[in-house]
Amino acid sequence: MIKKIPVNQLRIGMYLNDLNHHWAEHPFDWHCFTIEDEETLGKILAAGMGEVAIDTKLGVDVVATKSRTDAEAGYSEPSTFVSGVIANLSAENQFDYAKNLYSNASKLMENMMKDVRIGKQVALEQCEPVVDNILDSMFSFPSALLPLAQMKNRDEYTFQHSVSVSALAVAFGRVLNMPRAEIRELAMGGMLHDVGKAQVPGHILNKPGKLDDGEFAMMKNHASNTASLLKEAKGISQIAFNAASQHHERYDGTGYPLGLKGDEISLHGQMLAIVDVYDAITSIRIYHKGMPPTEALKKMYEWSGAHFNPKLVQAFIKGIGIYPAGSLVRMESERLGIVREVVPEKLLQPVVQIIYDCKKMCHIPSEKVDLSVSNDKIKSHESYETWGINQAKWCSASYG
């Protein structure tokens, strides 16, 4: 029996009937084979595939207790579940997995918004396996996926932004100790929060300069468009709907489309509002220089109390770190490093990858330093552009 399943449900002993990928996009010689060991399984996961087909007559079937439904016990437990295979991937494979996942998820959103543009409904079932993969990646090694969120291009910004918001929402939900089921729906809301932009004219959506009043009014309609589209989506949860439809509401009542204030905005709507703004102001685009993450967090803190719930802003900062993964920092030793791993209990002591000597003005052999056990400390955050360092190259590469 041929059965399509999300890639994170694969296990040893299954027979792959179809990888659902062009041969040039995966590392295997064949589309059909039995998964015989964890190394093979890890390569499949690292390739970033969303869904594959298995033959249950030639190999083992999906275990019922691991079904991806909210009714199953795996989604009612606190946020401690991690896909065992993904968690055991090497650092290099974790980064490869995150890059492929980010790319495939962005492509999914591009295709979905094209469908919406021609009048089709939002297909929730297409998003579910991708959101599950984002959760697995974020629960296992968030520092691989989050740095990719800062790098977007003009043509694909809307789609990439949706994926970034979904990933950031997972980090936010985890620091609040939400159950995995709740985080999953919050992440789904993040993935779909801008689907209403499919109904905004392209010349407005992609305009490189400032929008005039009329154009801005049309752009603001995307929030109402999103709500209308998601009301018609089969299987949308209240959490996902609230998060997506309320992401432009503001704590002081100055937001839109309904001008909700304070606790009139759902918890999930308040959370996604924070995540959406943070990702927008830190994103690198052709016509927009992204604000350094540390500077952006200072802005978010300044805006809290007016635009955002202050307690939630503080929790968000704890969730992604004062120096978020992907940040360029200057050490007291006068070396530059890239923040690679953030521990919520040690926000000022992340793991960094030292790459540059400020005194000699040159790159140096890469060195991984855990600041919680080092005498060196972070002195300041820095700009990649100022130092002529290729952020895209470093933040999308693994480290040893």
The residues spanned by each domain of the chain are 2-67, 84-320, 328-395
336 Cβ partners below 8 Å, 6+ apart? 328, 329, 330, 354, 355, 356, 357, 358, 382, 387, 389
Tokens 């298995």 identify what position? 54
Question: Where does the pLDDT of residue 226 fall: very low under 50, low under 70, confident under 90, or very high at 90 and above?
Answer: very high
267 Cβ partners below 8 Å, 6+ apart? none
Cis peptide before 257 (omega within 30 of 0): yes
Whether 276 has a pLDDT exceeding 70, the answer reads yes
Crossing angle of the two packed helices 124-140 and 157-175, in degrees rounded to 10: 50
Q: What is the mean pLDDT of residues 115-140?
A: 91
Q: What pLDDT digit, counting tens, does each position of 30-87 carry?
A: 768 888 877 787 778 777 667 788 988 888 887 643 333 333 333 333 334 445 566 6
Q: What is the mean pLDDT of residues 163-172?
A: 95
| Residue 345 to residue 275: CA distance in whole angstroms | 21
| Residue 241 to residue 260: CA distance in whole angstroms | 15
Cα 26 from chain centroid? 22
Q: What is the mean pLDDT of residues 318-337?
A: 92
Whether 254 has a pLDDT exceeding 90, the answer reads yes
Q: Find, among 241, 313, 324, 315, the residue nearest to 277 by Cα.
A: 313
Kindly report the backbone phi and psi dihedral angles of residue 78, in degrees, each rounded to the nearest multiple of 5, phi listed first: -60, 170
pLDDT of residue 81: 43
Asked if 21 and 53 count as a contact pair (C-beta separation under 8 A), the reply is: no
**Bigger pLDDT: 391 vs 231:** 231
The angle subtended at Cα 92 by Cα 127 and Cα 329, nearest 5°, is 95
Q: What pLDDT digit, counting tens, does each position of 227-253 carry?
A: 999 999 989 999 999 999 999 999 999
Q: What pLDDT digit, counting tens, does each position of 300-315 carry?
A: 999 998 999 999 999 9
| Residue 185 to residue 70: CA distance in whole angstroms | 10
Q: What is the mean pLDDT of residues 330-339?
A: 96
| Residue 110 to residue 205: CA distance in whole angstroms | 14
**Bigger pLDDT: 80 vs 351:** 351
**Mean model confidence pLDDT for the chain:** 85
pTM (two decimals): 0.79
Q: What is the mean pLDDT of residues 129-154?
A: 83
CATH code of the domain made up of 84-320: 1.10.3210.10
| Residue 169 to residue 275: CA distance in whole angstroms | 7
**Bigger pLDDT: 384 vs 370:** 370
Asked if 43 and 35 count as a contact pair (C-beta separation under 8 A), the reply is: no
Largest distance between two CA atoms of the chain: 64
Kindly report the backbone phi and psi dihedral angles of residue 304, in degrees, each rounded to the nearest multiple of 5, phi listed first: -70, 150
Whether 287 has a pLDDT exceeding 60, the answer reads no
Q: What is the mean pLDDT of residues 136-145?
A: 86
pLDDT of residue 65: 33
